[in-house]
A and B are shown apart, each in its own frame.
Chain A
Amino acid sequence: MEKRAHFSGWTLPLLLIIPQMAITVIFFYLPASQAIWQSFLREDAFGLASEFVGFENYVSVLEQPEYYRALVTTVIFSSLVAFFSMSVALLLASQADKNIRGGHAFKTLLIWPYAVAPAIAGVLWIFMFHPTLGTLARPIRAVGINWNPMLNGNHAMILLVLSATWKHVSYNFLFFLAGLQAIPKSVIEAGAIDGAGPIRRFWTIIFPLLSPTTFFLLVVTVVYVFFETFGIIDAVTGGGPAGQTTTLVYKVYADGRLGGDLGGSAAQSVILMVIVIALTAIQFRYVERKVQY
């Protein structure tokens, strides 16, 4: 798309664009290219000298069993959060879409967790399920389960999934509700006249018509779990117990900061960049499809 009318001259536009360009180059392109460069270097133990080692950092990252464990953890974590946050959000949105009194109030009451910081969400949930003082941990222990997310990796993962889902339902709810409201009522009425009940109408008419929204939310939720849940993980488990809740992003952080392995950390960053670019590319293809739809 182009504008028909323009201003002429090029000094003014350059002045206008310089602030953004400078910040983008200094804080985006420079670090991104350094990450790529550093992923081919190895520093000595004191960080004084570094030598070019080719793909050695990548090889050693890909040879670590911990890396695959982090990959598996990430996949499990994101599938669980995507499944739960999207199905709960769709359930709530389809109820809120019914013509009921106070629908708007429900919307307000359901969307505010979006504004809660991931780390704070983690703190709220660890407080609820803290093994000794958590209000909800007591009933769990009372039925004989030795609930302890600090020591049991599965319990820790459950807690992470719950807090990440809690925070993200609001976002998915908002988009599902918008998607539902965009479905023409005449289509649904036509289904009703043909004798389809509410459940049949949902699965044969509404759900297929929502598929662009569903797909979009799937990509956004996966990106959310990959990156934004860092705060939740750091606050709730710190990647533990024994690395059982360390995701790919958390590992980049832990290896670089705690382990001092900058080359390996950079190699992991580059792998992550490739994953994100792939996800974004998928999303853009989908956006194009939606335009034709």
Chain B
Amino acid sequence: MVENRPFAQFMAYLTLVIGVVVVAFPVYLAIMASTFDSATIINGNMPLIPGDQALENYSRTLFYGGKQAREPVMGMMINSMVMAMGIAVGKILISILSAYAIVYFKFPFRKTAFWIIFITLMLPVEVRIYPTYKIVADLGLLDTYMGLILPLIASATGTLLFRQFFMTIPDELLEASKIDGAGAFRFFKDTLLPLSMTTIAALFVIQFIYGWNQYLWPLLITTKSSMQTIVIGIKKMITTTDALTEWEVAMTTAVLAMVPPVLVVIFMQRLFVKGLVETEK
């Protein structure tokens, strides 16, 4: 602040505290709901302090599942984890390799290749869902991890991010490596990869969250309940005729679904912010 105004300081705190409370309240309520039995929630007078059913709810949800779905949430979490990791690792792998080729090599159609990849930036998966579904079905990838992962890594963000970063690396490094007799593989492994570690980690954080939170695509291509991701699973728990919704299981699942990505954001905040700011450029 330019001038010292205690009142303005106080208002700043007040606004921020109200903001934090409003932001946290829905999640607080979900955590509370995961500690009560079904009857307490349904009668509409759920207390705002924790109940005593937490252990029961979490163990039942994780290892048994709801009465309707009968699918342990543990399995769904494993599916989500495989999908999120697959998307993050897969995207980093293909995009760092193609960015390396585009930036550090001269080959025919290099510009064309770059544009072919670049255009994919413009179209999110939501607008081409049915044709993509058909192709995945023709390839026999329905209900497989490959089918969940591959269509979602077909986009340009990673390649652009690495290209942008490689462009900031001084040419002298490559010249020096060449003089020292390093080939393309050596230069990549010993010089480029160590320099790219922060960029890789930032992209990983963003892609992990993106993958974990996917909804429409897994909803379309998973038919077996054993292949469900947790975000799809919770939606199914709620739509079965309203009166039968087991809210304590649903809310326990919601809490479990939030834990991994939220932990990633909180503990890797610096990388998360970096990734978010740079992939949007």
Interface residues of A (CB under 8 A from B): 1, 3-10, 12-14, 16-17, 19-21, 23-32, 34-35, 38, 88, 91-92, 95-96, 98-100, 106-121, 123-128, 132-135, 138, 150, 166, 169-171, 174-175, 178, 185, 188-189, 192, 198, 216, 220, 223, 227, 230-231, 234-235, 238, 249, 252-253, 256-257, 262, 265-266, 269, 272-273, 276-277, 280, 287
- Return the CB mask of B93-121 against A: 1 if under 8 Å, else 0: 11101101111111110100100110011
Most buried by B among A119, A192, A216, A220: A119
Q: Does B51 contact A (CB under 8 A)?
A: no
A23 to chain B, nearest CB (A): 5
* Contact of A5 with B171 in the complex, beta carbons under 8 Å: yes
- Known A-B contacts A5-B171, A28-B123, A280-B122; the reply to A114 vs B104 at CB < 8 A is no
* Contact of A3 with B171 in the complex, beta carbons under 8 Å: yes
Q: Does B180 contact A (CB under 8 A)?
A: no
* Contact of A178 with B258 in the complex, beta carbons under 8 Å: no
- Known A-B contacts A6-B105, A95-B15, A135-B29; the reply to A116 vs B258 at CB < 8 A is yes
* Contact of B98 with A100 in the complex, beta carbons under 8 Å: no
Task: Name B44-63 residues within 8 Å CB distance of A.
Answer: 44, 46, 48
Most buried by A among B1, B12, B128: B128
- Return the CB mask of B25-39 against A: 1 if under 8 Å, else 0: 111011001000000
User: Roughly how many angstroms separate A24 CA and B29 CA in the complex, as a whole number?
Assistant: 42
Q: Does B24 contact A (CB under 8 A)?
A: yes
Q: Give the chain B neighbours of A1 by CB distance below 8 A.
A: 167
User: Roughly how many angstroms separate A98 CA and B2 CA in the complex, as a whole number?
Assistant: 9
Q: Give the chain B neighbours of A231 by CB distance below 8 A.
A: 213, 215-216, 231
List the 5 closest A-B pairs by CB distance, nearest first: A31-B131, A117-B213, A231-B215, A10-B107, A115-B261
Q: In the complex, which of the residues B95, B238, B281 contacts A235, with contact meaning CB atoms closer than 8 Å?
A: B238
* Contact of A98 with B8 in the complex, beta carbons under 8 Å: yes
Q: Indicate the size class of the contact surface on chain B.
A: 35 or more
A72 to chain B, nearest CB (A): 20
Q: In the complex, which of the residues B43, B94, B231, B251 contacts A127, with contact meaning CB atoms closer than 8 Å?
A: B251
- Known A-B contacts A95-B15, A276-B124; the reply to A120 vs B231 at CB < 8 A is yes
Q: In the complex, which of the residues A112, A124, A265, A272 contacts B29, with contact meaning CB atoms closer than 8 Å?
A: A124
* Contact of B235 with A12 in the complex, beta carbons under 8 Å: no
Q: Give the chain B neighbours of A138 by CB distance below 8 A.
A: 44
Q: Does B204 contact A (CB under 8 A)?
A: no
B119 to chain A, nearest CB (A): 9
* Contact of B234 with A96 in the complex, beta carbons under 8 Å: no
Task: Name B235-258 residues within 8 Å CB distance of A.
Answer: 235, 238-239, 242, 247, 250-251, 254, 257-258
Q: Give the chain A neighbours of B93 by CB distance below 8 A.
A: 19
User: Roughly how many angstroms separate A108 CA and B272 CA in the complex, as a whole number?
Assistant: 11
What are 15 A-B residue pairs whose CB atoms fall within 8 Å in the complex?
A7-B106, A10-B105, A12-B101, A20-B117, A26-B154, A38-B130, A95-B16, A113-B23, A119-B213, A127-B33, A133-B41, A231-B213, A234-B216, A249-B126, A253-B129
Q: Does B72 contact A (CB under 8 A)?
A: no
> Nearest CB to that of A37 among chain B residues?
B131
User: Roughly how many angstroms separate A170 CA and B113 CA in the complex, as a whole number?
Assistant: 36
Q: Give the chain B neighbours of A125 by CB distance below 8 A.
A: 26
Q: Does B42 contact A (CB under 8 A)?
A: yes
B158 to chain A, nearest CB (A): 9
* Contact of B159 with A192 in the complex, beta carbons under 8 Å: no
Q: Does B209 contact A (CB under 8 A)?
A: yes
* Contact of A98 with B216 in the complex, beta carbons under 8 Å: no
User: Roughly how many angstroms separate A169 CA and B135 CA in the complex, as a whole number?
Assistant: 36
Q: Give the chain A neighbours of B110 by CB distance below 8 A.
A: 13
* Contact of B167 with A35 in the complex, beta carbons under 8 Å: no
> Nearest CB to that of B136 among chain A residues?
A27
Q: Does B265 contact A (CB under 8 A)?
A: yes
A131 to chain B, nearest CB (A): 10
Q: Give the chain A neighbours of B195 by CB distance below 8 A.
A: none
A151 to chain B, nearest CB (A): 12
- Known A-B contacts A17-B101, A178-B277; the reply to A266 vs B234 at CB < 8 A is no
- Known A-B contacts A119-B231, A171-B276; the reply to A126 vs B238 at CB < 8 A is yes
Q: Does B89 contact A (CB under 8 A)?
A: no
User: Roughly how many angstroms separate A14 CA and B109 CA in the complex, as a whole number?
Assistant: 10
* Contact of A3 with B103 in the complex, beta carbons under 8 Å: yes
* Contact of B130 with A262 in the complex, beta carbons under 8 Å: yes
Most buried by B among A3, A14, A120, A230: A120
User: Roughly how many angstroms separate A101 CA and B94 CA in the complex, as a whole number?
Assistant: 43
* Contact of B131 with A35 in the complex, beta carbons under 8 Å: yes
Q: Does B127 contact A (CB under 8 A)?
A: yes
User: Roughly how many angstroms separate A185 CA and B3 CA in the complex, as a whole number?
Assistant: 12
Q: Does B85 contact A (CB under 8 A)?
A: no
Q: Does B193 contact A (CB under 8 A)?
A: no
Q: Give the chain B neighbours of A34 by CB distance below 8 A.
A: 131, 134-135
Q: Does B144 contact A (CB under 8 A)?
A: no
User: Roughly how many angstroms separate A120 CA and B281 CA in the complex, as a whole number?
Assistant: 28
B124 to chain A, nearest CB (A): 5
Question: A5-B175, A6-B105, A132-B42 known; 15 other A-B pairs, CB under 8 Å?
Answer: A20-B159, A28-B128, A35-B128, A95-B11, A109-B24, A111-B269, A116-B258, A123-B250, A124-B26, A134-B44, A231-B231, A234-B219, A269-B127, A269-B128, A287-B281
